[in-house]
Structures are given as structure tokens and as C-alpha cells.
Chains A and B, each alone.
Chain A
């Protein structure tokens, strides 16, 4: 969830009250934002103005700046009305040229006329753009914002895409002119890595770069990278031209609406915005922007009451919604239907359930009557069968004095293969595309790496070390929708001065006995019924040659025996690969055969 820093005094001034800590915390809690931090103590030491860090819902772009937070809280508190945003007729045009389709096809614009910035509101204007860029705009990949001093430009404005070499301008806060290619090189320098350098890959490999120019070919911006020095806005700017470029039209409109809704309050005529006529004939996107058309959504009193467990009158619901900036009126179609006007700032409202939630917040979650409808009596619970099998393994192993461990499922490729003296034939293991560290390259296909790593970390424990795990491994399977499946395994190790093979063999016997499976002599020839035996298997290279065996299981009379696991003395190379300076024996079974 995004966190917004606001000036504490300024916010409390806007709310008309100097809140105590607990009281403000309470207000935030009930409204659904969270006071993360109050910097008062630190600020006093450094002689700075205290700030509040407020965590907001990820879908509430209208709360990304102090103006929006104060507006919404004031409406919630009944201290303010939802602003009525007005659009004035366009005086200029934005021509979108077809060339832009190659890189960022959508653009929009608006003009804030006769605005008066203060230092605080100017800083907030910049900060909101940053917040929008990093959240909704997905680090400028979907949408980018440019703001310009309109008095330095002459409309109409042109949005086109040009080869980098044909673009020449002085970028913002620079003194020298660059061409497009030089600009890329400039922002690729290491000192720009965490700054504008982050956005270079968005256009770097394109043969053309998007460019916003005025009537006289003065470059305003090269989105999504940088504005021009020429059109730079300052504290004294009175007329602001906002350009929006995007690959997602819906989000472009949302971003433009949020920006102008929040900052048109500082215009001589508050909440009034000058529209721009977009001419975009090649893709039928010609229109007047921004779009302030009021959105109406219908919902029903019955639905809201039924979802909240209330019996409110339409008027009571309307009052709750008003606190949440939603203007609802009874429809003339029916008494049960409410017609709700969604302000342009409330793009989070997608469905009547979003209105229902606001009705609940307006009422107060913690004031809702507690439901009595849910009785536990009519439901019969049951455990997942494989988890029941797991529990039998776990209880039997711990009764046999083994200690349960829970290593991670992800491990390095070497840990799953090379360190175990195994080769990856690419038929089994699931490989991750984007791990941050080598520790997480594959999903394990055996429990052994995690168990050995746990033993390594506990080398100082008294010997012998006896640990087990019951957990899932994952195998590929191309015939499945998800192309992979989990398999529940059980693995146990004995680590000591000696390999303890017969002890591990004994544990296997104990487990088998728990699952009603007797040992069968003579490699399965001793009986034709249910049972198990072990057979030497020299293909198991994790084990010392001649000391590895597969576990054979015949589930019932007449069934073919199948391999359900393996056991053996771990190869000394394996022990050294995992940095465990002892001898060890290991057993691993597929637990699912006992289902």
C-alpha cells in the first residue's frame, strides 16, 4: 500500500482541528487509512516541520496528496461538500500524429488557468506526480506526466514520434542542448541509475521517441523521460499545461483527472479546468479532454442492507454515502433504487459492491450489528487425506526419536543436482525465471538438500543427529494445466560417527509397520501379499557405491510392486558438498502411495 507524507500542521489546519495522536489515529482507522508514523519527535530535534506518514488504499489515487486526504476526511467529517468540477471550452488543440502509434499511442492534456502556487502546494504538485508515476503509471511505463508553463508555449500542441537524432532540446535542469541519442547516453550514466535512468529502457530500443512540441516546434517534453528546460514551471507559473502520454488510455484519463481535480482548487476559479481538444483522427480518438462526465451507478437499498445486516432507510444510506463523497439520490424508477454519482476522483468504484463498502465505512465497520446467522452445526469438517498421511509419518518419526525440520522448498540448482551427484535431465525440476538470489533457482525434487542444509547449520549439535521432514516436492508434468504437481515426500537422516545404515533401515521398517506394511524376505519372493523390501540400486549416485537401495512396495495381493523411494549411505562427496563432516544414511519415500 502506498504511503503519503503530509505536513502535520498543514493537514490539521485543513481539517480545522489540532488532533491529538490517538484521536487522529482513530479517525484514520475508521476511515480506512493508517497513520504509519508521526515524525514530530525527530522533527523537533532537527528543527523541521513534523510530518505524518499515512498509508492509503492502493486503489485510492485521490488520496495520494494532502489536498485529497484533507478533502476526503473533511467530507467524511461533514465539514465539506464534494467539489463540483467544471470544464471550460478548449482554446487550443493537441494533435496526435500517427507516428506515435509506434511507441506510446495515447495522449491527453489540460490547462490550469490562473493558478497561484505556494511553496507547499507547488511541492505537493510535484510530489503527486511522483506518486502517480510510481503507482498507477507503473513507473511511467503505462502513463507519463509532463507539466509546462503554458505562457512559454504557443498552441496547438503536437504529439508525434521522431527518430532520436531529429530531436534537439535542452532538457529540464540542464544548460546544454542534447539530441535524442545523446540524451539516452546522458541518462544512462551511473549517477542517474536510481533517478531518470530507470525510465531509459522504456524507449531506449525504439527507432523513434515520443515527443510533445508546440506550434513552433519548441520541444515541451520527451515522455516518459524528461520535460524541456524551456517550458519549465516555477512557483510563479500562472498557467499550467499538463501533458499525458500513455499506452493505456483508461489510466491516462484517470491520471489527468486526479491531477486537475487536486490542483484546480488553487485556480482563481476553483475546481475549474480548461479543456483541450484532442485531434487524433488516425485512431478515432479525437475528443475533448479531460472527461468530466459524471458517472452514475445504480444500486439498491435492499442489497446494501442485506450485505451489511442493516435495516437502514434510503435516507440513512444516502447520509452514509455522502460522508464517503458519493452523492446518492432515490431513483424515480423505484424507492429501492439509489442513483449514485461517482466523482471523477473515485475511480476505485467499479461495482455496486464498492458503493456498499462505502456505505459500511460511512456507517462504521465497528458499529455494524454482529451477525447471528452463521452456525457451526451444519458442517462436517474433514482433513485433506494427504495431510492425514503426513501426520502419521510425523507422529511415527517423532515417536521413533527423530526431530522434525522445515527447510525451504526453493533451493539452488547445484543443491538439488550437482551437490547430490545427480544430473539434471530437464524432465523433472521446475526452474524459476527471476530469483533475486542463487538460493532460489529451482523447486526441490527431493527433501535431501534442505535436510542436509539443516544438519550443516546444526553441526555443533550432539551426535547422532536424527531429523526428518514431511513436505512437498514438485515435478514437471506437461499434461497438466499447471504443468507441474506437488508430491508429498517423507525423508529422514541419521548423521553420526558411523553411517548408521541399519538404523535408517530400522526406521523405514517402523514407518512401514505403521502403514500396515510388513517386510517381505527374498526381495519380494517371500510372500505374494502387501509388503515392502529393498533392492540394491547402483544408479542412485547420491549414495556410496553398493550402499544405495530402492524401496519396493506391493500394495496388495496381485498388484505389481513399484518403487516408492530409496535409502542408502550418503556418498562422502555429498557430505562434503554440504559441509557436513560426518557419515550419514538417508531414506526418502513418496508418501502418496499410502493414500
Chain B
């Protein structure tokens, strides 16, 4: 226990209550006082209440008045001594203070001016001894020093006369605490293994905790938010019976990425502007299924399976060009072709990277992740797709969907999926879906009545909304902040996705 702490306790024992630490311990600054009080409070020795007041300090001029009397009193004393004083000599005898004193002495009726412009003591005070005349200024200042409360008008007057200056004063009132005593037991900060083992904790006093605080930073690893959202989607798919496709194949052939999906060879998606082509290796093989290739050729060139086709010269070379897949639907196509060997109701999904040769900006990267679901079943309907989309998106907390007709080369009908965005106050597109075209499926050898639904969305968009990321480059790729990864919360898509 420090000397000051003991001093406080003793004073408290003596007074039973300290109304103002500032008055009782004027020599201590408020930080020193607070440190001592809070430490004693932790030991339940005392309680304290803080208050903020204004205190007044005397200016040098004020201090001089306390010591030597006010200017008016000095002037009175001088005039009394001299009998008479020329007004013009006040300045030379007493300086600027003399003028102040002169005005106040007149006001108090202590002195008067005669016809010769001389000052003399007034009749009333002529015979009164100097030490019996009340020096009001000095008395007021003494009251300030004594900490007495003066009325606002007086304070303002003294302030105006630059005799006092205000100061913010932190003050404390102190009362005895439940364990008040003049001794201080040593407080333990922590329970130690030794105390647990020996039971010594029973006789010890423990320091109170400050619960208004955060703990220390825990060093930990973290998973990337995009992968956390990906996991949410995977769990939704698993819960609906979907098996994950082997989407680990970035390099694709023109055949699977485009031709198999009934994307004509002059389609803008196949432009150098949109698709990454590969120069090494340069040329792919064609699929081994020759019937399939001839079906694809027929369906593009002249039509087949009730389709009139696109009616152009279909070239094998275009199929053999290698690309970085522009969508995971290339993998879905391969899976559907495999399904033709043993057609049956099937549910498949993938969440993986796709590549577009696009200009990079806040919402576009050359690489991003596509979430894709494929559902094959006999004689399913567009109404089934709508219902299924509602169930799928409901699992991520998105309800009230609307469906807009759109165009996709490989699905017909095609529907864009919209949901109402509370924040933006408008309908926003959240995914794309459709029924795969019969030309595409029948070319693979799938039966006519096995219909296939497909839908997709980007993984980044819901993640950016969930984690309030404005720029896709700060999510995917090397420009991510590790602090962001380390501190981001669990994904939980079902909790207010579009808050």
C-alpha cells in the first residue's frame, strides 16, 4: 500500500466521508487520486464517485492582491499618506494598476476629486483607520482560494478583471467500502495450479476483474470466406441428394465447352475476346464416341432430332481447339454423355473455377467460381424446375423468387432467377436456369423423355454480399487481406443473406 493510499484511508477514518478529494488533497493531481482510489476500491476499502467541476486559479495579479491588497486599497493608502495626489501623478506613482484602483476607489466612495484635480480621502473614510476598511476584492479572492462558492455574476466580474482563470477539475467524493480498514491484504491476480493443488485459494483474496474489456487476440488459423460459402452450398446440394462432379479439369476442348452444348461455332462466346485459347498444347483429340460426334455435326449443320440446326459448315478443327473452360457446364456435358450409357434419374453438382478473357474490374475477374446443379429425371416439367429453385434458394434464406424468360444456347426454356433485394429496393438476378435442349441430350444418346434441368450462379456474388466485399479482387486472388480472412465470421447462408 502506498503512503498516499494509507493517507486516504486515514482521512476517511477521521472524516467518515471525503466530500472532495481536490480540497482534501490539493497537492495531488486527479490521475494520482484516481489510481489510488481505484486500487483501494478493488480491495473494497472504499467507494468513490467522480464529478467534474470548474475550479478557479488566481492570476498573478490576483495573487498580488491577496498578498498586498487591491489596487484601490493601495491607492487609498497612498492618498491617505500624501493627503493629496494629483490625478496626473497616479500613473507615475502606481502604473496602470493605479488607474484601475482609482476607478474602484471612486466607486466605493473612498476618495473624491477636488477642484484642483487632486485626489483626497472622502469625508466618510477620512477618519477611519485603514485596517478597518473592508477590501472587498481581496476578500472575494480569498473566498476563491478557500474554495467557497461565489455567485456567477461575481465570478464573471473577477474573470473579466483577469484576477482568476477557470480550470476543469476532476473531483471525487469518497465513502467507506464494505471491507474498510487501514490495512490492505495482498490481492491475488490469478488462480494458479498451486492454489488448486493446495487449496490455498480459500484463504486468499482476489483482485476484482474488469469485465468491461476484450480478451487478448487468440492466434489461430482461418479458412477463406469464399470456401466457407462454397461449403454452405455443398451442404445444400448434399442435403438434396446431389453428387459432386469431377470438375477438376480446367483445360477443355472446344467440343465439350461449346459444340456439345449446341453453341454454334461463330457464337460470340467463342471469340478471342471472351475465351482463353491455349497455344501449348495446341490441338485436342475428339471424343472416342464417333456416333456422338456425327450427331453433333448433324445437329449443328443440317439439324437432327427434330431440330433444323444452325445451317452452317461445322468444322472439326473448331472442336479440337483447346480452351480454359468458360463454364463448368462443359463437365456437366461430359457427365450427361456418360449418363447415356445407363440413363436414370440423376442429380449432380459442381462448384469450381471457370475462366473468361475479360477486362478485370471491381466485379469481374478472369477467374471465378461457378455453382452449378444438374438434375435429370423422366418427364419433369418447367414447373418442377421452378419449385426446385424455390426449395434450393430457400435453403440459403432466399424466398419470393420470380422467373424471367431469357436466352441460353443450350437450354430452352431458359429462366433467369430474380429475388427482391431489400437493400437495393429492386429485383436482382441471382441465378440462371433452364431445361437442356433436346438436340443436345438426344445427340448424346439420352432417351427423349429424360429431361434435364440445369442452373447456375456465381459463388463470388453471394459471398461478396454476405461479407460486404465491394471489390472481387479483394476476395479472390492475391490481393486479399489476411486480416480479413482471419477475422471473418462463419458463412451461414440461411442467416439474412441479403441484409
Task: Give A contacts to B, CB under 8 Å.
Answer: 1, 29-32, 34, 57-60, 135, 138, 142, 248-251, 297, 306-310, 348, 350-354, 356-357, 360-361, 365-366, 368-374, 376-384, 386-387, 394, 397-410, 426, 429-437, 439-440, 443, 450, 453-454, 456-458, 461, 465-467, 472, 474, 476, 478, 480-486, 488
Are B479 and A457 in contact (CB-based, < 8 A)?
A: yes
**Which residues of chain A are within 8 angstroms of B359 by Cβ–Cβ distance?**
436
**Which residues of chain A are within 8 angstroms of B427 by Cβ–Cβ distance?**
29
Instruction: Please list 14 pairs of residues, one from A and one from B, whose beta carbons are closer than 8 Å in the complex, sorted by A's number.
Output: A351-B307, A353-B412, A356-B413, A366-B403, A371-B387, A373-B381, A381-B240, A397-B221, A403-B482, A405-B478, A409-B353, A436-B357, A472-B248, A482-B284
**Which residues of chain A are within 8 angstroms of B226 by Cβ–Cβ distance?**
406
A350 to B310, CA, bound (A): 8
**Whose C-beta in chain A lies nearest to the C-beta of B436?**
A353
A138 to B312, CA, bound (A): 14
Are A486 and B248 in contact (CB-based, < 8 A)?
A: yes
A430 to B359, CA, bound (A): 21
B481 within 8 A of A: yes
Are B387 and A374 in contact (CB-based, < 8 A)?
A: yes
Is the interface on chain B under 10, 10 to 19, 20 to 34, or 35 or more residues? Answer: 35 or more
Are B268 and A454 in contact (CB-based, < 8 A)?
A: no
B382 within 8 A of A: yes
**Which residues of chain A are within 8 angstroms of B309 by Cβ–Cβ distance?**
350
Are A458 and B382 in contact (CB-based, < 8 A)?
A: no
B385 within 8 A of A: yes
Are A309 and B266 in contact (CB-based, < 8 A)?
A: no
If A374-B375, A430-B278 touch, whether A350 touches B285 (CB-CB below 8 Å) is no
A366 to B227, CA, bound (A): 33
Are B249 and A486 in contact (CB-based, < 8 A)?
A: yes
Are A478 and B281 in contact (CB-based, < 8 A)?
A: yes
Residue of A384, A403, A407, A476 touching B280 (CB-CB under 8 A): A476
A256 to B221, CA, bound (A): 64
Kindly list the 10 A-B residue pairs having the minimum CB-CB distance in the complex, ordered from nearest: A379-B241, A32-B405, A371-B384, A309-B381, A309-B383, A57-B407, A398-B221, A453-B478, A433-B279, A483-B281
Instruction: Output the least CB separation between A295 and chain B (Å).
Output: 8
A384 to B349, CA, bound (A): 10
Instruction: Output the least CB separation between A401 and chain B (Å).
Output: 4
**Whose C-beta in chain A lies nearest to the C-beta of B287?**
A481
B296 within 8 A of A: no
A30 to B415, CA, bound (A): 11
**Which residues of chain B are within 8 angstroms of A249 by Cβ–Cβ distance?**
311
Are A371 and B386 in contact (CB-based, < 8 A)?
A: yes
**Whose C-beta in chain A lies nearest to the C-beta of B262?**
A350
Are A432 and B276 in contact (CB-based, < 8 A)?
A: yes
Instruction: Output the least CB separation between B405 and chain A (Å).
Output: 3
**Which residues of chain A are within 8 angstroms of B219 by Cβ–Cβ distance?**
401
Are B246 and A308 in contact (CB-based, < 8 A)?
A: no
**Which residues of chain A are within 8 angstroms of B396 by Cβ–Cβ distance?**
none
Instruction: Output the least CB separation between B472 and chain A (Å).
Output: 11
**Which residues of chain A are within 8 angstroms of B491 by Cβ–Cβ distance?**
none
Stretch among B30-38, B126-134, B142-150, B231-239 lining the A interface: B231-239
If A34-B404, A397-B221 touch, whether A431 touches B382 (CB-CB below 8 Å) is no
Q: Which of B283, B366, B476 has the most CB of A within 10 A?
A: B366
Are A443 and B485 in contact (CB-based, < 8 A)?
A: no
A353 to B452, CA, bound (A): 13
Are A482 and B322 in contact (CB-based, < 8 A)?
A: yes
A430 to B324, CA, bound (A): 10
A178 to B277, CA, bound (A): 39
A154 to B477, CA, bound (A): 63
Are B308 and A370 in contact (CB-based, < 8 A)?
A: no
**Whose C-beta in chain A lies nearest to the C-beta of B311?**
A250
Are A371 and B383 in contact (CB-based, < 8 A)?
A: yes
Extra pairs beyond A454-B480, A480-B285 (19, CB < 8 Å): A29-B402, A142-B266, A348-B407, A351-B305, A353-B412, A353-B413, A365-B404, A382-B243, A394-B227, A403-B222, A404-B221, A406-B224, A408-B476, A410-B366, A435-B276, A440-B276, A457-B480, A484-B281, A488-B248
Are A426 and B280 in contact (CB-based, < 8 A)?
A: yes
If A352-B306, A397-B221, A401-B220 touch, whether A370 touches B248 (CB-CB below 8 Å) is no
A398 to B220, CA, bound (A): 7
**Which residues of chain B are within 8 angstroms of A377 by Cβ–Cβ distance?**
241
A398 to B222, CA, bound (A): 5
Residue of A135, A400, A408 touching B477 (CB-CB under 8 A): A408
Interface of chain B residues 251 through 284 with chain A (CB within 8 A): 251-253, 266, 268, 272, 276-281, 283-284
**Which residues of chain B are within 8 angstroms of A458 by Cβ–Cβ distance?**
481-482
Interface of chain B residues 299 through 327 with chain A (CB within 8 A): 303, 305-312, 322, 324
A237 to B451, CA, bound (A): 53
**Which residues of chain B are within 8 angstroms of A430 by Cβ–Cβ distance?**
251, 278, 280-281
If A440-B276, A454-B480, A458-B481 touch, whether A373 touches B377 (CB-CB below 8 Å) is yes
**Which residues of chain B are within 8 angstroms of A443 by Cβ–Cβ distance?**
250-251, 324
**Which residues of chain A are within 8 angstroms of B451 by Cβ–Cβ distance?**
307
Are B266 and A138 in contact (CB-based, < 8 A)?
A: yes
Are A410 and B355 in contact (CB-based, < 8 A)?
A: yes
Are B388 and A371 in contact (CB-based, < 8 A)?
A: yes
B379 within 8 A of A: yes
Are B367 and A457 in contact (CB-based, < 8 A)?
A: no
Are B366 and A440 in contact (CB-based, < 8 A)?
A: yes
Are B223 and A398 in contact (CB-based, < 8 A)?
A: yes
**Whose C-beta in chain A lies nearest to the C-beta of B367?**
A408
**Which residues of chain B are within 8 angstroms of A472 by Cβ–Cβ distance?**
248, 250, 353
Are A384 and B244 in contact (CB-based, < 8 A)?
A: yes
